[in-house]
Chains A and B, each alone.
Chain A
Amino acid sequence: MPQFFSNKRLIILLASIIVLVAMIGFSMKDREELSWPEQFLKDTVGVSQSLFYKPANSIAGFFENLTEMKHMYQENKQLKSKLDEYAQLSVDVQELKKENKTLKSQLEKEADLTEYKVKEASVIGRSPDRWNKFIFVNKGYRDGVKPKMAVVSPEGFIGKVAKVSAFHSTIQLISDNDRTNRISAIAESNKRIFGMIEGYDSKKQALLFKKIPVDAKLEKGQKVITSGLGEVFPRGLLIGTVKEVKPDEYGLTKTAYLKPSADLYDLDHVMILDRSMPQVDENEFKAKEEE
């Protein structure tokens, strides 16, 4: 048996275990701001990531296009038939938007939970170990990105901004199992059903939509959207569709499994949303309470 550790080394090992626990404890605190060495590292690595990711992605995209060409004819037929519906829909939407605007101006209501400004960003990398589900994008606080902003892909909601450095930021996907990764959501039907998106079942590849009242009637195929309550997400971003509904372990509430509307692995360009409705400033609130 080889001698792995002399006494001195054993002491060093024990000391480093203590340091490890201390560092984990330190980083488990809710930190919104990154310290400057971290920001510097993120930006440097971000630059080299974008050097690698784009060429690799375009090569992979080329081969994907080749395989897609086989189904081109069939797809084209389907799309043509959908185009007619689309023309009608877009006219309707224009009409509704106009009506909405005039009604709002009559009410003198300016900001709304559904309104937001869009910032485009491209993906430059993804966290390689699948325990943490982060993607990295090439926009930072210099472009006005702030922590906790909602992030969407063209198909739907994908996550929120977790950490921001000067030119790059880290996005936490909805499938991340962090206990602080919770999103208030609504299932739209005749009656609104409120609940929380909490965690991800990797075996079923489904999001967990929890804390739904027992008497709520959820059906398969129903769409779930963000509620706009709570943090800084706008209302009405599509999260997913209901796959399966189950009572939870205590029978007091129900849990639904959602199929995410966006493909969380096939992300090239994402949009970061800045909600127009001002947030409640907590400090101001506390100051008022003290008075």
Chain B
Amino acid sequence: MNRILLPFITYIAFVAESTIMQVLAPEHYNWGFQLIPHFSLVLIILISCYLKPSYGIVYGMVFGLLTDLIYTDLIGVYMFSTALVAYFISVLSRYLFSNFFVAILLSAAGAAGLEFMVYGLNSLIGIADTNIDSFFYDRLLPTLILNAVFTILVYYPFAKLLKKVRKAIHEN
């Protein structure tokens, strides 16, 4: 039961990125910065830290591919970046003491890594036209704060669920 719940919750976070967060987007109020939600990435990072790095690769590929197919025009950019970022962060988490603050730091680092990779790939192709200064201040910093807040909100209930799933996997 709990194992089916994980992809389902991640899917809800994925849909919320394009719907709930867009209703509340800062552009409605003419604020000059962008808040980019990476909720599914945050959940994938938590999953791969608590379970196994290979979960990060599989979830990252699946939800990255969904992002590519539905939200963007190019196939492959998010699929590759999400899987790679999730793998890196989960390997890193083996060497760090796992607690609440480390989880926030890791998910923020993951969101930053994904943003940088997608920015790099998109400016290579010519879709991204902003220079690095405005990318950093108007986009990256607010985005990191948003995703850190999301991590704080979901950390306790989600970690509880993940511990249950881990137990169930060990018993089998």
| Cβ-closest chain A residue relative to B22 | A126
| CB of B160, distance to nearest CB on chain A (Å) | 24
| Contact B128 A26, beta carbon cutoff 8 Å | no
| Contact A24 B74, beta carbon cutoff 8 Å | yes
| CA distance in complex: A131, B79 (Å) | 16
Footprint of B on A, CB under 8 Å? Answer: 2, 4, 13, 16-17, 19-20, 23-24, 26-28, 38, 41-42, 45, 48-49, 52-53, 56-57, 60, 124-132, 134, 136, 162, 177-179, 199, 202-203, 265-266
Contact A20/B139 with A2-B94, A125-B22 known, Cβ cut-off 8 Å: no
B-chain residues with CB within 8 Å of residue A28 when the two chains form the complex: 74, 125
| Contact B126 A179, beta carbon cutoff 8 Å | yes
| Contact B127 A178, beta carbon cutoff 8 Å | yes
Stretch at the interface among B24-32, B149-157, B162-170: B24-32
| CB of B126, distance to nearest CB on chain A (Å) | 7
| CA distance in complex: A179, B125 (Å) | 10
CB contacts under 8 Å to A, within B9-25, are 11, 15-25
| CA distance in complex: A265, B32 (Å) | 13
Interface string of B75-102 (1 = CB under 8 A from A): 1110110001000100110110000000
| Contact B23 A57, beta carbon cutoff 8 Å | yes
| CA distance in complex: A121, B30 (Å) | 25
Contact A127/B92 with A24-B75, A24-B76, A202-B129 known, Cβ cut-off 8 Å: no
| Contact B37 A128, beta carbon cutoff 8 Å | yes
| CA distance in complex: A248, B81 (Å) | 37
| Contact A41 B69, beta carbon cutoff 8 Å | yes
| Contact A19 B76, beta carbon cutoff 8 Å | yes
| Contact B125 A24, beta carbon cutoff 8 Å | yes
A-chain residues with CB within 8 Å of residue B15 when the two chains form the complex: 45, 48-49, 52, 125
| CB of A215, distance to nearest CB on chain B (Å) | 29
B72 within 8 A of A: yes
| Cβ-closest chain B residue relative to A170 | B70
| Contact A16 B36, beta carbon cutoff 8 Å | no
| CA distance in complex: A28, B121 (Å) | 13
Most chain A CB atoms below 10 A, which of B15, B24, B36, B66:
B15
| CA distance in complex: A24, B11 (Å) | 24
B-chain residues with CB within 8 Å of residue A124 when the two chains form the complex: 19
A-chain residues with CB within 8 Å of residue B22 when the two chains form the complex: 53, 125-126, 128
| CA distance in complex: A27, B27 (Å) | 29
Most chain A CB atoms below 10 A, which of B71, B92, B121, B134:
B71
Q: Which of A13, A134, A177, A203 contacts B71 (CB under 8 A)?
A: A134
| Contact A136 B75, beta carbon cutoff 8 Å | no
| CA distance in complex: A162, B72 (Å) | 11
| Contact A24 B19, beta carbon cutoff 8 Å | no
Contact A56/B88 with A2-B95, A179-B126 known, Cβ cut-off 8 Å: no
B-chain residues with CB within 8 Å of residue A16 when the two chains form the complex: 80
| CA distance in complex: A60, B80 (Å) | 35
Interface string of B99-141 (1 = CB under 8 A from A): 0000000000000000000110110011111100010000100
Contact A203/B19 with A41-B70, A131-B118, A179-B126 known, Cβ cut-off 8 Å: no
- Offer 10 A-B interface pairs, CB within 8 angstroms, sorted by A: A13-B84, A20-B79, A24-B121, A45-B66, A49-B15, A49-B18, A126-B25, A128-B18, A177-B127, A202-B129
